[in-house]
């Protein structure tokens, strides 16, 4: 009996030692994996302030947010009306213009300039660029067309252009991120 | 044959070494090297303790903030801090708004978004501390031909770093009479300043902290020269290694676990070898 | 190869059987570090350092790959990218300190491993090839460590690169063009930094290759042991698994404890402060010293201060520095003693403990000290002994000394004569 207990205790110690080695292995893997995620300097640069005072109705600018383009567009009343005329329920990604802009600032459409299909930059923000058949943005890579609220209307993209988190720091400055 | 060859090669090297040794020893006896002024008067850093010292050391954030104030109001006129970003100051206990305000107080190089011309703009938290001089040539020209070194890594880049900085800041003094008596040629040249803690005894930097109350501390600490020197040295420990606290904390956890695991491993080893003489 | 009594790999699971037929990798593992490898039962703790060296190599490769993910080999930004890694990358400080201190740990382990070989005559037949490959690994390690030290592009990096490549300029006629070729320029710059980075990434994998050969060659005669008596019967050995896995396992724990103590509490103790100053080609640090693990050989280099007949001092120093390591290649043939282990060689033992070890320690000390007296004279005497030890004393002593009587077998050494006779009566 005593002999058997002795054997069991020894087995237990061996198993415990191997388990401790396993725990050490996991402990080593954690920093090795986490070192690849975004570093502090990258994360710190993840908010941008944009001066919108010089954007006239009908114009748009490309700002940079997290190393990607963001479109800041001052919609004309006509474009707002076009966007509101569509029944949101019929859309692929149903959203109204109101849901995609800030209250009282409906003319400021701020979206990522990254096509939701495979990440190309759609045309339409620059002066004279093709805006596609719905008057918003047009992605030349695979032909996705967005309307004046940057909602997907035609082509392979599954979602509307993403609206990043932002707020109006003042009437002329938008803080994105 | 191999042995004879090896002995010959061995004799060749040992003879060359014996020759070098003999000549060196002879020179040493006939012309002993002159004692240098540095050898006689250079001092090792003073002993000074910081809150971050030792295996359990932690930063005294109040002191780091005071040290930062000394850097900002005194040192930053000449010394850059190029590896530190304003956002890092949040680790000293400043709020986001305070960091933003501090950053905005510095002018950093920027680009005019309309004309593309280089301009100066207020700093933001993601900016790094601006350099006081455009380049080394400008720094040299403005500082009596000496470039003020970057301070971010200063306490790692000198032996006994923080104590060295503290000693240097508090070590300015008149040249001792004994020195001039022994080495009349070693008089501190014009424009340099005698400091026994500096490797060659004379440095271009004028004493930066000279009078009590040179900065006014917000927390009511009396700003003596000694206090300011200590505070800025503590601040530079932080700039050189912001991860110091995390390093020591992680270290204790790792060592604790390893001790446990090693004892288990040893017991397991004893078990497996039990009854096996070796 | 193995001893006739080695356990044979017998897969029981059908999948393992299938695997054994198609690719007998599990069999290879079983026979190299498993139950199929019989190892002398009397190994002492000095025999753990081979396994520890392997652990160090793994640490260096893993942390090195991580460092390379964040590093840019350009003189304009190299220093900053290393600093960025330390400051901003998640656990970057840990990776950097582990890589820098890992190099030191690797050399501590390897020096002990090598000096164990010196003392116990591990280089002697039939293990000459193991030894030769080991010296090759050591040379590759030195090259890798040197180039790695250049990468952060601090003051010591730059001046180290300049001085070490300057050694080659001592070679008559081709020296200066050779140095320029090595650097890709007149002084260390982008070209040199980039090739050093490339080679620093390559060489560790070459080391892995030679390590595999080293272990392969070791498995032909099997491990040596503290008595130096070859294995004779089954009672002389125990299977590697579980016996030496358990012993190496706990040794790794103990090593890890010491390593982590350095890593977390004295991470900069072995580095030079000057390497936290960005490289400045216009100003040399007051005392240039390489990393501590090069100090003995650096001391040998500096010990030659006088021209010797028609050979300039500089060339003599370079010859001697390389010679100090190359002489190890010839050890198996310089040492003629029929006995391996220093424990049974009274005269050699004295020269080892009171000659070679002190000389090596003096060389370590002087290599890190400034190039001034008394350090130069001390290193001259120590280097003199070093060369005399390997090239004169060892061949002569091994020929004339009378070794102590050896135990008949490992079993006898461990258990004593009577018990051993009972255990293996047929072996005699």
Can you list the alpha helix ranges (DSSP code H) found in B60-106? 61-73, 96-104
SS3 of residue A131 by DSSP: coil
Q: Check if C406 contacts A (Cβ < 8 Å).
A: no
* pLDDT of the residue at B52: 95
Best of B9, B10, B56 to substitute, by most chain C Cβ atoms within 10 angstroms, is B10
Judged against a pLDDT cut of 90, whether residue C208 lies above it is answered with yes
Rounded Cα gap, residues B163 and C314, in angstroms:
39
- In this structure, what are the phi and psi dihedrals at residue A156, rounded to the nearest 5 degrees? -80, -15
Which candidate in C20, C32, C219, C314 is catalytic? Answer: C219
* pLDDT of the residue at B191: 87
- For residue range C241-278, list pLDDT tens digits in order: 999 999 999 999 999 999 999 999 999 999 999 999 99
Task: Say how many C-beta atoms besides its own lie within 10 A of residue C206's C-beta.
Answer: 15
CA B239 to each of CA B71, B98, B155, B161, C48: distance values in angstroms, whole numbers, following the listed order:
11, 18, 9, 12, 41
* pLDDT of the residue at C205: 98
- For residue range C320-338, list pLDDT tens digits in order: 999 999 999 999 999 989 9
Q: Model confidence at B103, in pLDDT bands (50, 70, 90)?
A: very high
**Chain A residues touching residue C84 (CB < 8 angstroms):** 39, 41
* pLDDT of the residue at C2: 74
Angle at the Cα of A67 from the Cα atoms of A62 and A69, rounded to 5 degrees = 20
* pLDDT of the residue at A4: 61
Name the residue among C392, C393, C364, C394 with its Cα closest to residue C378: C364
- In this structure, what are the phi and psi dihedrals at residue C362, rounded to the nearest 5 degrees? -65, -45
Q: Model confidence at C420, in pLDDT bands (50, 70, 90)?
A: confident
Q: Model confidence at C1, in pLDDT bands (50, 70, 90)?
A: low
Judged against a pLDDT cut of 80, whether residue C80 lies above it is answered with yes
Taking residues C122-144, report their average pLDDT: 97
CA of B188 vs chain C CAs: smallest distance (Å) = 20
* pLDDT of the residue at C142: 97
**Chain C residues touching residue A19 (CB < 8 angstroms):** none
- For residue range B123-169, list pLDDT tens digits in order: 989 999 999 999 999 999 998 888 999 999 999 999 999 999 999 99
**Chain B residues touching residue C283 (CB < 8 angstroms):** none
Taking residues C341-352, report their average pLDDT: 96
Tokens of C185: 């320029």
Q: Model confidence at C428, in pLDDT bands (50, 70, 90)?
A: very low
SS3 of residue A53 by DSSP: coil
Name the residue among C321, C319, C331 with its Cα closest to residue C389: C331
* pLDDT of the residue at C427: 44
**Nearest-Cα residue of chain A relative to residue B128:** A41
Rounded Cα gap, residues C85 and C91, in angstroms:
9
Starting at the earlier edge strand, list the strands of the sheet with A166-168: A48-51, A173-176, A166-168
C-beta separation of A166 from A177 below 8 A: yes
CA of B130 vs chain A CAs: smallest distance (Å) = 16
- Residues 6+ away with beta carbon under 8 Å from C202: none
* pLDDT of the residue at B73: 95
Q: Check if C268 contacts B (Cβ < 8 Å).
A: yes
* pLDDT of the residue at A121: 94
User: Residue ranges per domain, chain A?
Assistant: 1-37, 42-176
- For residue range B25-75, list pLDDT tens digits in order: 999 999 888 888 888 899 999 999 999 999 999 999 999 999 999 999 999
Supply the CATH classification number for the domain A42-176. Answer: 2.102.10.10
Q: Check if C69 contacts A (Cβ < 8 Å).
A: yes
The pTM for the full model equals 0.93
- For residue range B248-259, list pLDDT tens digits in order: 999 999 999 999
Taking residues A77-99, report their average pLDDT: 91
DSSP state letter for B201: S
Mean pLDDT of chain B: 93
Record: contact B264-A17, CB cut-off 8 A: yes
**Chain B residues touching residue A21 (CB < 8 angstroms):** 261, 265
- For residue range C90-101, list pLDDT tens digits in order: 999 999 999 999
**Chain A residues touching residue C88 (CB < 8 angstroms):** 39-42
Provide ipTM, 2 decimals: 0.93
% of chain B surpassing 90 pLDDT? 78
Taking residues A29-48, report their average pLDDT: 90
Which candidate in C157, C223, C235, C398 is catalytic? Answer: C223
Of C84, C95, C256, the CB nearest to A35: C95
- For residue range C42-70, list pLDDT tens digits in order: 999 999 999 999 999 999 999 999 999 99
* pLDDT of the residue at A1: 44
pLDDT: is C288 or C425 the higher one? C288
Taking residues B210-230, report their average pLDDT: 93
Record: contact A35-C89, CB cut-off 8 A: yes
State the count of interchain CB pairs (< 8 A) between A and B. Answer: 40
**Chain A residues touching residue B265 (CB < 8 angstroms):** 17, 20-21
**Nearest-Cα residue of chain A relative to residue B263:** A17
* pLDDT of the residue at C419: 78
* pLDDT of the residue at B172: 94
% of chain A surpassing 90 pLDDT? 63
- DSSP code per residue over C309-323: TTB-HHHHHHHHHHH
**Cis (ω within 30 of 0) for the bond into B276?**
no
* pLDDT of the residue at A7: 67
Mean pLDDT of chain A: 90
- For residue range A117-144, list pLDDT tens digits in order: 999 999 998 888 888 889 899 999 999 9
Mean pLDDT of chain C: 94
CA of C31 vs chain B CAs: smallest distance (Å) = 20
**Nearest-Cα residue of chain C relative to residue B156:** C273
Mark whether C247 is an active-site residue.
yes
Q: Which domains does chain C have, with CATH numbers?
A: 34-427 (1.20.810.10)
Record: contact A24-B257, CB cut-off 8 A: yes
**Nearest-Cα residue of chain B relative to residue C274:** B157
Please say whether the structural domain B37-84+130-246 has been given the CATH code 1.10.760.10. Answer: yes
Mean pLDDT lowest for which of A34-38, B113-117, B162-166, C109-113?
B113-117
Judged against a pLDDT cut of 80, whether residue B212 lies above it is answered with yes
Record: contact C247-B273, CB cut-off 8 A: yes
Taking residues A37-59, report their average pLDDT: 87
Task: Say how many C-beta atoms besides its own lie within 10 A of residue A113's C-beta.
Answer: 25
């Amino acid at each position: 009996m005593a002999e058997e207990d002795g054997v069991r205790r020894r087995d237990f110690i061996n198993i415990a030692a191997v388990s401790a080695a396993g725990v050490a292995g996991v402990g080593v893997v954690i920093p090795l994996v986490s070192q690849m995620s975004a570093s502090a300097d990258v994360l710190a640069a993840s908010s941008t302030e944009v001066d919108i005072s010089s954007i006239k109705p009908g114009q748009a600018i490309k700002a940079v947010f997290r190393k990607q383009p963001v479109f800041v567009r001052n919609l004309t009343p006509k474009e707002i009306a076009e966007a509101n005329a569509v029944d949101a329920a019929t859309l692929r990604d149903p959203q109204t213009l109101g849901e995609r802009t800030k209250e009282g600032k409906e003319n400021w459409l701020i979206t990522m300039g990254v096509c939701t299909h495979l990440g190309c930059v759609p045309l339409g923000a620059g002066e004279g660029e093709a805006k596609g058949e719905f008057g918003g943005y047009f992605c030349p890579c695979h032909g996705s067309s967005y309307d004046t609220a940057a909602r997907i209307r035609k082509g392979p993209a599954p979602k509307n252009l993403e609206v990043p988190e932002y707020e109006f720091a003042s009437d002329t400055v938008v803080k994105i991120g | 044959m191999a042995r004879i060859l090896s002995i010959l090669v061995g004799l060749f090297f040992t003879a060359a070494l014996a020759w070098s040794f003999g000549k060196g020893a002879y020179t040493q006896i006939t012309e002993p090297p002159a004692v240098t002024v540095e050898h006689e008067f250079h001092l090792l850093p003073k002993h000074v303790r910081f809150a971050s010292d030792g295996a359990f050391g932690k930063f005294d954030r109040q002191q780091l903030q005071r040290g930062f104030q000394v850097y900002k109001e005194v040192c930053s006129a000449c010394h850059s801090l190029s590896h530190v970003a304003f956002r890092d100051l949040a680790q000293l206990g400043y709020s986001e708004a305070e960091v933003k305000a501090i950053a905005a107080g510095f002018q950093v190089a920027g680009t005019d978004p309309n004309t593309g011309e280089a301009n100066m703009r207020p700093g933001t938290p993601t900016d790094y501390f601006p350099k006081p001089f455009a380049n080394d040539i400008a720094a040299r020209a403005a500082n009596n031909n000496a470039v003020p070194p970057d301070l971010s890594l200063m306490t790692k880049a000198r032996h006994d770093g923080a104590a060295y900085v503290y000693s240097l800041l508090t070590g300015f003094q008149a040249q001792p009479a004994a020195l001039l008596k022994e080495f009349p040629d070693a008089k501190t040249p014009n424009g340099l300043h005698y400091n026994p803690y500096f490797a060659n005894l004379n440095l271009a930097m004028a004493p930066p902290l000279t009078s009590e109350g040179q900065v006014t501390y917000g927390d009511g600490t009396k700003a003596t020269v000694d206090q300011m020197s200590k505070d800025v040295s503590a601040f530079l420990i932080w700039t050189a290694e912001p991860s110091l606290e995390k390093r020591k904390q992680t270290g204790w956890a790792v060592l604790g676990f390893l001790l446990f695991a090693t004892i288990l491993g040893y017991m397991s080893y004893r078990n497996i070898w039990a009854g096996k003489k070796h | 190869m193995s001893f006739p009594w080695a356990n044979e790999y017998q897969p029981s699971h059908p999948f393992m059987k299938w695997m054994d037929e198609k690719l007998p990798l599990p069999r290879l593992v079983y026979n190299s570090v498993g139950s199929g490898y019989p190892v002398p039962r009397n190994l002492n703790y000095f025999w753990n350092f081979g396994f520890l060296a392997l652990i160090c190599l793994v640490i260096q490769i893993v942390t090195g790959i991580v460092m390379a993910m964040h590093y840019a080999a350009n003189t304009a930004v190299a220093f900053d990218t290393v600093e960025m890694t330390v400051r901003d990358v998640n656990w970057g400080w840990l990776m950097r300190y582990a890589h820098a201190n890992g190099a030191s740990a690797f050399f501590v382990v390897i020096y002990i491993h090598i000096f164990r070989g010196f003392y116990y005559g591990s280089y002697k037949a039939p293990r000459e090839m193991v030894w030769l490959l080991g010296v090759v690994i050591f040379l590759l390690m030195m090259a890798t460590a040197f180039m790695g030290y250049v990468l952060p592009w601090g003051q010591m990096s730059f001046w180290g690169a300049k001085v070490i490549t300057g050694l080659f300029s001592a070679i008559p006629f081709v020296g200066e063009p050779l140095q320029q070729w090595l650097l890709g320029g007149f002084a260390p710059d982008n070209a040199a930094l980039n090739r050093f980075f490339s080679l620093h990434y390559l060489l560790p994998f070459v080391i892995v290759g030679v390590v595999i050969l080293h272990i392969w060659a070791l498995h032909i005669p099997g491990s040596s042991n503290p008595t130096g008596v070859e294995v004779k019967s089954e009672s002389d050995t125990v299977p590697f698994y579980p016996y030496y896995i358990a012993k190496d396992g706990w040794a790794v724990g103990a090593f890890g404890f010491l390593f982590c103590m350095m890593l977390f509490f004295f991470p900069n103790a072995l580095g030079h402060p000057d390497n936290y100053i960005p490289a400045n080609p216009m100003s040399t640090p007051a005392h240039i010293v390489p990393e501590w693990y090069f100090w003995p050989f650096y001391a040998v280099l500096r010990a030659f201060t006088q021209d010797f007949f028609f050979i300039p001092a500089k060339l003599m120093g370079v010859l001697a520095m390389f010679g100090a390591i190359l002489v190890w290649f010839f050890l198996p043939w310089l040492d003629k003693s029929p006995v391996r282990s220093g424990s049974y060689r009274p005269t050699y033992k004295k020269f080892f403990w009171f000659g070679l070890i002190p000389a090596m320690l003096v060389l370590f000390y002087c290599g890190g000290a400034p190039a001034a007296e008394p350090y130069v004279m001390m290193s001259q005497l120590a280097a003199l002994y070093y060369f005399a030890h390997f090239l004169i004393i060892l061949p002569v002593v091994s020929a004339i000394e009378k070794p102590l009587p050896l135990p008949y077998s490992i079993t006898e050494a461990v258990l004593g004569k009577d018990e051993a006779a009972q255990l293996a009566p047929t072996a005699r």
